[in-house]
Amino acid sequence: MRTIQVEKITEEVAQMCKEAAYYLPGDVYDALKKGRETEESPVGRDVLDQIIKNAEIAKAEDRPICQDTGMAIIFVEVGQDLHIEGGSLEDAINAGVAKGYTEGYLRKSVVEEPLFNRKNTQNNTPAIIYTKIVDGDKIKIQLAPKGFGSENKSGIKMLVPADGVEGVKKAVLDIILHASCNPCPPMVVGVGIGGTMDRAAVLSKRALIRPTNVRNAHPDYAKLELELLDLINKTGIGPQLGGTTSALAVNIEWGATHIAGLPVAVTICCHAMRHSERVL
Ligand code: SF4
């Protein structure tokens, strides 16, 4: 049994919050550059130039890529042979989020109650934490700050098996067309297929963490990712003011489901597709 102190987890999460806010992942930066090369609209090319320049300035000056530094979405895989000492995992993660957002002067965007009071918690906690127990004695932490300009345009459709692949394509496109230019495109589109309503939504979030240049390991889903990307890029939404670069990637994650169901969830992320990862 290996032991890790909660302080180590807190410190790493704090660093990850800052890192994710300042540095756009290389695959997303490369996808923006590629989009700039192929974009057919002059205005679209100009917008992409500005988005790329913005990411470069943020990286050079350690400043947030966007003013909306997001709600911290965290996927944790805990090895069953790891002992976490000194406190609870959830408290350690939330302490790291609070430290990172405070030290990094990142906008605190979380309210403690959603409907009546909406009082800001002042430290961007609580994070949304998904924990999975796995083999081994390590802990893997993946953090993705999620802005709500794009989150607000995400959606879910409960299809039936007879809807099939064409039904899935229509469901995804309907959500994207409804979102239009509001989620700060070019988007990265996470799609969760299968499970239950809630499971599909989590799969769509997890899909976003996969690099934009890595296709699903299952050839049918990999093909569907490319087909959906092509359809989305033909909508004309473009990089905010019209064009051919509406999305940088479509990432699908799938899971077992009921014989009567075909849930499809779509989490839309903006061009600021930020994430950070540690294995401790
Ligand atoms: S959707 Fe993304 S780019 Fe737009 S404001 Fe929110 S975090 Fe920023």
- Can you give the pLDDT at residue 268? 98
Positions of the chain with pLDDT lower than 70, given as ranges = none
The CA-atom distances, in angstroms, between 206 and each of 73, 82, 194 are 10, 23, 13
pTM of the model: 0.96
Identity of residue 93 = I
CA 7 to centroid of ligand 1, rounded, Å: 31
Task: Concatenate the DSSP letters of all residues of 28-96 into one string.
Answer: HHHHHHHHHHH---HHHHHHHHHHHHHHHHHHHHT--SSS---EEEEEEEEETTEEEESS-HHHHHHHH
Residue with tokens 């989590």: 202
DSSP letter for 169, please: H
- Can you give the pLDDT at residue 272? 95
Ligand 1: which atom is nearest the Cα of residue 67? 8
Which of 22, 68, 124 has the most ligand 1 atoms within 8 A of CB, as the residue to mutate? 68
- Can you give the pLDDT at residue 159? 98
Which of 181, 189, 270, 275 has the most ligand 1 atoms within 8 A of CB, as the residue to mutate? 270
